[in-house]
Amino acid sequence: MIVVSGSASKKLGESFSKEVNAKHANVVIKRFPDGEAYVRIMDNLDGENVVLIQSTYPDQNAIELFLLQDAVKEFKIKKLTTVIPYFGYSRQDKKFNEGEPISARAMAKHVGMMSDEVITIDIHDKSILRFFDTKAKDISGMPQIAKYFLKLKPTVIIAPDDGASERAKTVAGIIKCRWDYLEKKRIDGEHVEITPKSVSAKGEKIAIVDDIIATGGTIIAAAKQLRQQGAEKIFAACTHGLFTGGATEKLKGVCDLVVSTDTIENSTTNVSVAKEIAKEILRS
């Protein structure tokens, strides 16, 4: 096995290589003066099972992935497994208005046509996997987030809504604590109360977990109210830390800790999903 990673996932590629004791290929990536990408794989991939790791966010990283796939296919390889740590455009998985594309499908078609297998990590909706024209599987970063939280000993794991409950349940199962999800209750025309559906926040160490944190609006509002309801500590964690519009600083203003994984490398990255990728690759 040999590992190739793009510029969006270089550190994750290196971590994964160590997990599976495989060579991390030397890849040259640069930009021409007009902004177009140039990639070159400096190692011989002939006869190898290749694992290509690259997130498709922002847009320039998607183009880089397509070029790397093409470069890999120029060698006489055995198999190409494309790992997409963060699958850009995954939230546009249906047509909302006439004339729109189904962006997740468009991305999946392009990724899948050059892959023998595709692995995603906490994709926004697993139904997107059906868009790939090749074998595709989603794995979760939640077990590694749970292991990180073991030392912090949260007493309740909370999902931001019912749809994310399975993630909270997974983390709580590893930590062996309670879990719940947030519920919005309208007080009047201007005020909404955000509370755990079943658990009281008073005196609890609460970790709010989700797949993606973008603006952080829901978690920020929830953290403020949970604090008012008597929460002792509030942690926020996600697999994919987009943190748009200054969300990191806003979250740190209301949370005791903000954590994300290396699917998108940023200042809050304290967890690696390399072990979860390795488990899946070695299993297949």
Query: Distance between alpha carbon 26 and the CA centroid of its chain, in Å?
Result: 25
Asked if residue 196 has a cis previous peptide bond (ω within 30° of 0), the answer is: no
Query: Distance between alpha carbon 125 and the CA centroid of its chain, in Å?
Result: 12
Asked whether the beta carbons of 104 and 111 are under 8 A apart, the reply is no
Is position 184 annotated as part of the catalytic site? yes
- The helix (run of H) or strand (run of E) holding residue 111 is helix 103-112
DSSP 271-284: E--HHHHHHHHHH-
3-class state of residue 160 by DSSP: coil
Q: Which of 184, 185, 197, 202 is catalytic?
A: 184
- The helix (run of H) or strand (run of E) holding residue 186 is strand 178-186
**Placement of tokens 């190898």 in the chain:** 48
Asked whether the beta carbons of 37 and 64 are under 8 A apart, the reply is yes
**Placement of tokens 């390795």 in the chain:** 278
Catalytically active residues, by annotation: 184
